[in-house]
Structure 1
């Protein structure tokens, strides 16, 4: 089986020749299809008689002579593939792609291909210095230096399976989910990638994500970029994305926007969602209410354990249940607490009011975050219930929110001063 591996730079600028090795035209690009796995070349784009034409790959063979790659055409049959199909040089070379394994944005310096069974298939992208040196035509000098000094410049290839291109063409739009590979990344990694993209590509990628994935990523993105992304989308889409978030996360983002713009986004939400966010936005900075979440679980003290379990199954089957379950009376006044760990092992027929801890450490919504930090540190807690003046539970303050809202900004500010 004849298998030849080569790089795009090995053929760009060289002639496509006929069966007598006479030049037909300069190779300027390869047109590929994304429909199945690794891209497969459909046509060779050449410049002949001062105009570009696309030659059907079915009539082209690849030969290797004197360590040179030659594309030989048996018969020139022009194919009229749309310009919006992926062109390797135009759309991939020197462009940004997402390295899914390294979870970062990289620049493509060359493209590795393979000729097998008459097909040319894309294997990987070269993101290392060798790709640049190869295109400069100095590999002979590089190889000599490597032999003399007995060292090898490492090759940095990323398999096509492990990248996501940022190209948007007809072939990409045939996919059921554009940028589908990005959906498997952790939101924090996806946020880093979006931050690293150029402005235009950043907006295009973010717009293509579905509402839930976009919301999860937006929570992790730096505030100035959050604002930029929201300002560059329709208000209706912004409303849907922020409605998908927890109210406290949405409130934090909206507080970074101009009042009029923030209100226009809120007006596009369901009334209950918008009211919950507006309520959080009214709190003073550095108050407990400004960082508390409204995503917490309350159970009535009259419930048995089995009734509570059924309630949780019915209402929180697809939700993350917090570390603590809060027990309240009929007026939503906080009466006790049960850790999720303890709850799992309780007898089904026990009443919650008999098994709860009634000495509850709580904090008021208008108290300072400094007071919250003191309580969480003193009692070694992961979260604390937030109550109003009448001791109604109205929220929960999480340790990780304190880190995100207080310690991380201070640390970043410190790093900027040091640098």
Structure 2
């Protein structure tokens, strides 16, 4: 960015693509690293936290940024791919400075930080934060945005950034990352401090938090759940996929399991107990209890309407299961499966019972992981029915659950092993 160019608000840098000189994408910006300075001097912008395609987060010094333009960042092309580790003197802009309550020096009024702007110093490859966008009035909550005058002030016009804040909000941090997929937001949470992680989790709504929890490592799941009030923890577990919720419950002490189960809706609690009764790495332990179930007299139009549900994962939406009443798991007699592609080829008024695939053998709830993986590989399936000895459908196993359990236990935290020396992004 040339000297004299306009300032850049940091919220505009969240998720921005980073490219090398050849135009190949290196990764995306996930945070900015600054160093606070004494005597009210504006903080120096040290560099960017960049997430590579491998999910590894690295540090990109500002001295290696050659341009910030049109929603993209250009680098010199040489990166140190050593994993980013925050130093005690460093602060993360998104993770620690946004949503902070600071004080206007002139009036002593408390304000909330909404955004910060950075600019490049003349004739040097050095950057600093120069202005702060704040809102007057009370701090907002997860469900109500604060109202009040918003204004931009010089960095020197506020104090309070160097203090450890006990009740920092998360409203503006969440707004910065609102477009992220759950897995990417989970990655953001994983790299925050425990204090900040709890604040962000508290500000997420139940459904969003449930989606994010499903993507987090086990230790983070337990930590976050443990910091929620028990009533809310039960609500979040109900919003999770039943198999993921059961896995998380299974990691908690027995007395805590029972307290949370007692706070759930009876039907949801019954599903949890049923899933927890199976061994972890069996079809019964891996299945979800909420597949698409239809009666034989349902039409293709009915089936397509159910498949269109945006809350269904692609794997669960890939097929429906035709069963006799009752059509809640465990169902009446399981009759067979209808694949999504077959539904697209049939007239809407046709009955699903006329196109059911009854030749494919379902999984036994006690089938172990190798048998399940072999089933998916043999029949090129993305989901499979789980049926008990009486012929009732208990649930369905999806391919993502199989992969979760076949990968190493710490796969969410483990990234590709890259050379930790200075390497050029073009592989040279």
TM-score normalized by structure 2? 0.60
Instruction: Give the whole-Å Cα distance in 2 for the aligned partners of 1:391 and 1:409.
Output: 33
Q: Map residues 303-314 of structure 1 onto 2, 5 A cutoff.
A: 303-309=298-304
Residue matched to 2:104 = none
Residue matched to 2:100 = 168
Residue matched to 2:273 = 278
State which structure, 1 or 2, has the greater radius of gyration over its C-alpha atoms.
Answer: 1
Instruction: Give the whole-Å Cα distance in 2 for the aligned partners of 1:319 and 1:153.
Output: 45
Instruction: Give the whole-Å Cα distance in 2 for the aligned partners of 1:365 and 1:239.
Output: 26
Instruction: Give the whole-Å Cα distance in 2 for the aligned partners of 1:158 and 1:271.
Output: 54
Cα distance change on mapping 1:6 and 1:400 into 2, 3 Å: closer
> Higher relative contact order at CA 8 Å, sep ≥6: structure 1 or structure 2?
2
Residue matched to 1:380 = 380
Instruction: Give the whole-Å Cα distance in 2 for the aligned partners of 1:248 and 1:168.
Output: 37
Instruction: Give the whole-Å Cα distance in 2 for the aligned partners of 1:417 and 1:153.
Output: 26
Instruction: Give the whole-Å Cα distance in 2 for the aligned partners of 1:153 and 1:288.
Output: 53
Instruction: Give the whole-Å Cα distance in 2 for the aligned partners of 1:200 and 1:295.
Output: 34
Deviations 1:201-222 (A, max 9, x none): 1111221111111111111111
Q: Residue 364 of structure 1 aligns to a residue in which SS? A: coil
State the 1:373 CA deviation.
Answer: 1.2
Q: Map residues 19-418 of structure 1 onto 2, 5 A cutoff.
A: 38=9, 99-101=14-16, 102=28, 104-109=30-35, 126-128=45-47, 153-155=63-65, 164=94, 165-169=97-101, 170-171=111-112, 173-174=139-140, 175=145, 177-178=171-172, 179-309=174-304, 316=309, 319-320=312-313, 322-330=317-325, 332-409=332-409
State the 1:275 CA deviation.
Answer: 1.4
- 8 Å CA contact retained: 1:291, 1:401: yes
Deviations 1:165-200 (A, max 9, x none): 444325253446452222211111111111111121
State the 1:391 CA deviation.
Answer: 1.4
Cα distance change on mapping 1:212 and 1:330 into 2, 3 Å: closer
Instruction: Give the whole-Å Cα distance in 2 for the aligned partners of 1:237 and 1:393.
Output: 31
Instruction: Give the whole-Å Cα distance in 2 for the aligned partners of 1:339 and 1:154.
Output: 52
Instruction: Please provide the CA RMSD for this pair.
Output: 3.9
Moved more, 269-278 or 320-329: 320-329
- 8 Å CA contact retained: 2:338, 2:357: yes
- 8 Å CA contact retained: 1:127, 1:158: no
Instruction: Give the whole-Å Cα distance in 2 for the aligned partners of 1:212 and 1:195.
Output: 18
Cα distance change on mapping 1:110 and 1:292 into 2, 3 Å: same
Alignment coverage as a number of residue pairs: 296
State the 1:261 CA deviation.
Answer: 1.6
Instruction: Give the whole-Å Cα distance in 1 for the aligned partners of 2:373 and 2:63.
Output: 51
TM-score normalized by structure 1? 0.61
Cα distance change on mapping 1:388 and 1:157 into 2, 3 Å: farther
State the 1:317 CA deviation.
Answer: 6.5
State the 1:307 CA deviation.
Answer: 4.5
Q: Residue 153 of structure 1 aligns to a residue in which SS? A: helix
Instruction: Give the whole-Å Cα distance in 1 for the aligned partners of 2:277 and 2:365.
Output: 11
Cα distance change on mapping 1:309 and 1:156 into 2, 3 Å: same
Q: Residue 128 of structure 1 aligns to a residue in which SS? A: strand
Instruction: Give the whole-Å Cα distance in 2 for the aligned partners of 1:369 and 1:334.
Output: 23
- 8 Å CA contact retained: 1:105, 1:196: no
Deviations 1:201-252 (A, max 9, x none): 1111221111111111111111011111112221112111111111111111
State the 1:293 CA deviation.
Answer: 0.9
Instruction: Give the whole-Å Cα distance in 2 for the aligned partners of 1:193 and 1:243.
Output: 23
